[in-house]
Amino acid sequence: MGELRQLRVLSCRDNQFTGRVPREIANCVNLRDFRFQNNEIEDLEETKRWLAAECSWMRVFIGPDESDSSGSDVSDGE
């Protein structure tokens, strides 16, 4: 996953993914919009913390229990 450096949007919604979000996602430096609601991802709060710390360029992060309209800003800006 970390090899996809040109990836801008990743929508993995409505699947049955389990486990954790891979930390290699931080290598996707052009990823601005990451959505994966309706999955069974573990440690969502921890994931949000490290995404905010390591992926300040990401604008939208919507996790398993959030709706599309509520998008969570990961950073304060670009």
Residues 6+ apart with CB under 8 A from 47: 20, 21, 41, 63
Beta pairing partners, 46: none
CA distance 51 to 48: 5
pLDDT tens, position by position, 18-74? 898 888 988 999 999 888 888 888 887 888 888 888 888 888 877 666 665 544 454
Q: Is the pLDDT of residue 8 over 90?
A: yes
Main-chain phi, psi angles of 60, to 5 degrees: -125, 130
Residue 76 has a pLDDT of 38
